[in-house]
A and B are shown apart, each in its own frame.
Chain A
Amino acid sequence: MKVVATLLAFFFLLLGLAYGLGYVNAFTSGAHSHHFTHLVVCWVLALLCLVWARFQGAPARR
């Protein structure tokens, strides 16, 4: 699961970058512009995935 979480974090990081640079316009109101809100949401999701990965790294509680 740690690998999945890290890969998801990387995916959201790149997706946010693509939204921010205007390369991706899916689920946006205006095409071909910088989507700051989408960038922030994607990067927050990337951060949460990293937190998830961090929790996966710890030994299981008994």
Chain B
Amino acid sequence: MTLAQALFLAVLQGVSELFPISSLGHTILVPAVLGWHNIDRTDPTFLAFVVVLHLGTAIALLVFYRDEWIAIVKALVASVARGKLDPANREESIGWRLVVGTIPVGILGVILEAPVRHLFASPAVAAAFLAVNGGIMFLGEYLRRRERTALDRPDIPIEGMSYGQSVLVGLAQSAALLPGISRSGASIVAGLLCDLDHESAARYSFLLATPVILAASLLEIPKLFAPGAHLVAFEAVAGGVLAAIAAYCSVAFLTRYFKNNDLRPFGWYCLIAGTVCFVLARMGVIS
């Protein structure tokens, strides 16, 4: 892997992890489209590089939502010390919903990540799931509009969600184990169907993603000490910093974007890019 490739992949990871377009799908498809056959996704040095990119993304999310995380952690610790819930405390309510929503992806990730990666990590499959990801976003927007028109239900804040709904959003996030399905896309759609507005659904999705990405990268830290990993040390550090900057800019943009816009532009992108890549993969142009 060259330095230019490393830096490109770092920006790609930082952006695609938070935009609802699937980072895993893009890290499979983009090198295939560009003909970067020198990149071996199973190589220990590449895995070490990817760990640093994820760590950079998680740190960017933590920094962006630092005030909120400090308040949430304080509220959670206080409620455990007290031994009872205070539904009137907004931070505590959001915090416990994040804990409950993180459990499904934690369990399913540990059980399913390796077999799913083994079965589906090919450009054709990733492209097909990317198109499906676009379809999920269109379906989510359609169902939300239909519900709002037919039932005239008001939007609720994050702390207004039930714990069952939090688990559902967490389960939706687990769909991102499939390459091409976006973590943020699936959880934003699930949030919309739980009557959150776009801004709240996106914020809850990013808050929910933070512990998952952070824990996943921390658990993979031993890979940084794999034989030969020091050979990509500079690329990894530069890539990690770049991924963090890209992720911070992405989350700053998306939190503004979702104040007045919806998921459909990302749906179109995923549908078109997924279909084109799938056709190219089936024709043998990319592999």
Binding site for B on A (CB under 8 A): 27-29, 36-38, 40-41, 44-45, 48, 51, 54-55, 57-59, 61
Q: Beyond A27-B111, A29-B115, is A61–B84 a contact (Cβ under 8 Å)?
A: yes
Q: Name the B residues within 8 Å of A36 (CB-CB).
A: 219, 222
List 4 tightest A-B contacts by C-beta distance, closest first.
Answer: A29-B114, A58-B83, A58-B84, A27-B111
Q: Tell me if B110 and A54 are in contact (CB < 8 A).
A: no
A57 to B82 alpha-carbon distance, docked (Å): 11
A51 to B96 alpha-carbon distance, docked (Å): 11
Chain B interface residue count: which class?
10 to 19
Q: 11 A-B Cβ contacts within 8 A?
A: A27-B110, A28-B114, A29-B115, A37-B110, A48-B103, A51-B80, A54-B80, A55-B83, A55-B85, A57-B83, A58-B83
Interface residues of B in 79-109 (CB under 8 A from A): 80, 82-85, 99, 103, 106-107
Known A27-B111, A41-B106, A41-B110; 15 more pairs at CB < 8 Å: A29-B118, A36-B219, A37-B110, A37-B219, A38-B110, A44-B106, A45-B103, A45-B107, A48-B103, A55-B84, A55-B85, A57-B83, A58-B82, A59-B84, A61-B84
CB contacts between A and B, total, < 8 Å: 34
Specify which of B80, B84, B85, B107 lies most central, judged by the most chain A CB atoms within 10 Å of its CB.
Answer: B84
A39 to B271 alpha-carbon distance, docked (Å): 39
Q: Name the B residues within 8 Å of A48 (CB-CB).
A: 99, 103
With both beta carbons as reference points, the residue of chain A lying nearest to B76 in the complex is identified as A51
Q: Name the A residues within 8 Å of B84 (CB-CB).
A: 55, 58-59, 61
Q: Tell me if A41 and B115 are in contact (CB < 8 A).
A: no
CB distance from A35 to the nearest CB of B (A): 9
CB distance from A28 to the nearest CB of B (A): 8
CB distance from A37 to the nearest CB of B (A): 5
Q: Name the B residues within 8 Å of A40 (CB-CB).
A: 219
Q: Name the B residues within 8 Å of A27 (CB-CB).
A: 110-111
A36 to B85 alpha-carbon distance, docked (Å): 32
Q: Name the B residues within 8 Å of A37 (CB-CB).
A: 110, 219
A36 to B182 alpha-carbon distance, docked (Å): 27
With both beta carbons as reference points, the residue of chain B lying nearest to A61 in the complex is identified as B84
